[in-house]
Amino acid sequence: MSRNAESTAFRSALEVVRGVEPRVADAIAAELADQRESLKLIASENYASPATLLAMGNWFSDKYAEGTVGRRFYAGCQNVDTVEALAAEHARELFGASHAYVQPHSGIDANLVAFWAILADRVESPALRKAQARQVNDLTEADWFALRRELGNQRMLGMSLDAGGHLTHGFRPNISGKMFDQRSYGTDPATGLIDYDRVAEAAREFKPLILVAGYSAYPRKVNFRIMREIADSVGATFMVDMAHFAGLVAGKVFTGDFDPVPHAHIVTTTTHKSLRGPRGGMVLCGPELADQVDRGCPMVLGGPLPHVMAAKAVALAEARRPDFADYAQRIVDNAQALADGLLRRGATLVTGGTDNHLVLIDVSGYGLTGRQAEQALLDSGIVTNRNSVPQDPNGAWYTSGIRIGTPALTTRGLGAAEMDATAELIHTVLNQTTPGTGPDGAPSKAKYVLDPAVAESVGKQAADLLTPFPLYP
Ligand code: DSN
């Protein structure tokens, strides 16, 4: 499709919205302007293609379709079947998985589906077996009580939050941290890297039902072959949440021991991060878990979103094209160029660099908290997010880290030279920002001082850097 056709489609859609609620149309236009003009370095964000975005705004949004392809609880789902089957087929082909479930609305939902499937497959409970066999009328109140207790007190071993793990891998703010008895493995304090011997030791001691690998703030590859061996040695189900790096798996940057699909019993992902699709989730697994995974809706999910599944099909088709592999490699090249540029200017990086799409700066080296650094960068047209570093003394709210990622800027076409210029802008802001004080004059973890002239100058340089790489020209 030509750029003109895309532009006309978006403009027309905006005019239709404007006719009903102009403030929404204005907010949409303002969001595009913001995303166009700032350096978007949030590691989990990207720019979906016009085809992906346009596939979401249509009549599929109006259709209910509980169930799975060819087996729905509603009539008239033949077109939903078409797009769901296409999305699943593209996902299977792209990742080499035998089964794909494309209904989850988000990464948390995909993980819930996976947890359910593993519990249903693994927990030894006569009551659960009866419920699974749809003999629910045979269950007594005592059976239901036992079933709830047995399902809800299983063991999960995942990567700790401050080492880069995710909330849904057994942490308190998420239901996984309440229903599972959870332990975590961290990283080596000297290197910042996963120590597989320590993971094996933790697994031997704790004997988890589920071993989870995957991260949202670990800047390195994970060896999934070793993790699977650890899981097998204690009889655990091995689950990988590849939400952050699914694009690198799709683009064959992560292969062999670093591709989770051949090694894990079950893999979950979001579709909107490095994979560059619509906001949503997905589960991949082998035949042994497929039946339980397909019960995701209505077991733990609300009705599927057919318009988003249509967009998933489009984005997955895009990811199967040869140029996606080139894109995925450029994401990593750019992250390494950004890390090198920061290191040369004196920044401290967790693990000393990166081999994926993200870089984690320990901003305590600049005398700042993550929150101060995040806001100072935002004032300067650089959008990042604060993040804990391992053993973070500032906790999960203020933090000591800034996480930056390259999937979005790589989509716009920026390369190594622009990454070096970006490193210079980030370093300038962090170097010129100082901690501020609260109203009582006491040191504050949130307040900061940055000369507005510096913020303005960096903001202008950031915008100039983007000018040759227009978003939706
Ligand atoms: N919120 C996502 C991220 O930014 O990494 C993970 O769920």
Asked if residue 278 and residue 414 are part of one domain, the reply reads no
Q: What is the mean pLDDT of residues 121-147?
A: 89
Ligand 1 geometric centre to CA of 156 (Å): 20
Asked if residue 420 and residue 310 are part of one domain, the reply reads no
Asked if residue 285 and residue 352 are part of one domain, the reply reads no
pLDDT digits (tens, 9 = 90+) for 184-243: 999 999 999 999 999 999 999 999 999 999 999 999 999 999 999 999 999 999 999 999
107 lines ligand 1 (CB under 6 A): yes
Q: Residue 308 has what pLDDT?
A: 98
406 lines ligand 1 (CB under 6 A): no
Residues above pLDDT 70, as percent of the chain: 100
CATH code of the domain containing 225:
3.40.640.10
Residue 167 lies in a domain: yes
Residue type, 425: L
- What DSSP line would sit under 70-85, residue for residue? TEESSS--HHHHHHHH
Which ligand 1 atom is at minimum distance from the Cα of 167? 7
Q: Flag whether pLDDT at 173 surpasses 70.
A: yes
CA 347, 349, 350: angle at the middle one, nearest 5? 155
pLDDT higher at 473 or 418? 418
CATH code of the domain containing 395:
3.90.1150.10
Q: Which of 41-45, 125-129, 184-188, 304-308 has the lowest mean pLDDT?
A: 125-129
**Residues shown for the chain:** 473
Q: Flag whether pLDDT at 58 surpasses 90.
A: yes
**Strand ordering across the sheet containing 154-159:** 99-101, 281-285, 266-270, 237-241, 210-214, 154-159, 180-185
Tell me the two tokens of residue 436: 């501020």
44 lines ligand 1 (CB under 6 A): yes
Is 279 considered catalytic here?
yes
Mean pLDDT of the chain: 96
Ligand 1 geometric centre to CA of 371 (Å): 17
Domain of residue 453 covers 323-466
**Per-residue confidence at 109, pLDDT binned at 50, 70, 90?**
very high
Asked if residue 294 and residue 331 are part of one domain, the reply reads no
| CA atoms in the 13 A half-sphere facing the CB of 106 | 6
Domain boundary among 299, 319, 339: 319
Residue 99 lies in a domain: yes
β pairing state of 401-405 and 385-387: antiparallel
Asked if residue 392 and residue 313 are part of one domain, the reply reads no
Q: What is the mean pLDDT of residues 104-130?
A: 94
Residue closest by Cα to atom 6 of ligand 1: 216
Asked if residue 386 and residue 277 are part of one domain, the reply reads no
Ligand 1 geometric centre to CA of 404 (Å): 12
Asked if residue 259 and residue 117 are part of one domain, the reply reads yes
Catalytic residue among 72, 220, 221, 273: 273
Ligand 1 geometric centre to CA of 62 (Å): 28
Residue closest by Cα to atom 2 of ligand 1: 44
Q: What is the mean pLDDT of residues 59-68?
A: 96
Q: What is the mean pLDDT of residues 361-371?
A: 98
Residue type, 68: T
269 lines ligand 1 (CB under 6 A): no
216 lines ligand 1 (CB under 6 A): yes
d(CA 448, CA 116): 45
Domain boundary among 266, 298, 319: 319
DSSP 8-state assignment for residue 154: E
Q: Residue 322 has what pLDDT?
A: 96
| CA atoms in the 13 A half-sphere facing the CB of 60 | 20
pLDDT digits (tens, 9 = 90+) for 409-464: 999 999 999 999 999 999 999 999 999 998 889 999 999 999 999 999 999 999 99
Residue partners of 10: CB distance under 8 A and separation at least 6: 50, 54, 472
Q: Flag whether pLDDT at 311 surpasses 60.
A: yes
Dihedral angle of Cα 311, 316, 319, 322, to the nearest 10 degrees: -120
Asked if residue 279 and residue 351 are part of one domain, the reply reads no
pLDDT digits (tens, 9 = 90+) for 143-169: 999 999 989 899 999 999 999 999 999
Residue 19 lies in a domain: no
For tokens 């004196």, name the residue: 346
**Per-residue confidence at 1, pLDDT binned at 50, 70, 90?**
low
12's enclosing H/E stretch is helix 3-18
Residues above pLDDT 90, as percent of the chain: 91
Catalytic residue among 66, 143, 188, 195: 66
Mutate to test the pocket of ligand 1, among 40, 41, 42, 44 (most ligand atoms within 8 A of CB): 44
Query: pTM for this one?
Result: 0.96
Tell me the two tokens of residue 350: 């967790």
Residue 85 lies in a domain: yes
Q: What is the mean pLDDT of residues 254-263?
A: 98
Residue 343 lies in a domain: yes
Domain boundary among 319, 344, 377: 319
Domain total in the chain: 2
Residue partners of 50: CB distance under 8 A and separation at least 6: 1, 6, 9, 10, 472
Ligand 1 geometric centre to CA of 166 (Å): 8
**Per-residue confidence at 473, pLDDT binned at 50, 70, 90?**
low
Mutate to test the pocket of ligand 1, among 216, 388, 404 (most ligand atoms within 8 A of CB): 216
Asked if residue 367 and residue 286 are part of one domain, the reply reads no
Ligand 1 geometric centre to CA of 191 (Å): 24
pLDDT digits (tens, 9 = 90+) for 376-396: 999 999 999 999 999 999 999
DSSP 8-state assignment for residue 86: H
Residue 200 lies in a domain: yes
Asked if residue 276 and residue 383 are part of one domain, the reply reads no
Residue 289 lies in a domain: yes
Catalytic residue among 84, 109, 241, 340: 241
Asked if residue 432 and residue 329 are part of one domain, the reply reads yes
Residue closest by Cα to atom 3 of ligand 1: 44
d(CA 5, CA 91): 28
Is 64 considered catalytic here?
yes
In contact, 402 and 390? CB cutoff 8 Å? no
Asked if residue 221 and residue 149 are part of one domain, the reply reads yes
Ligand 1 geometric centre to CA of 181 (Å): 23
Residue 32 lies in a domain: no
Residue closest by Cα to atom 5 of ligand 1: 216
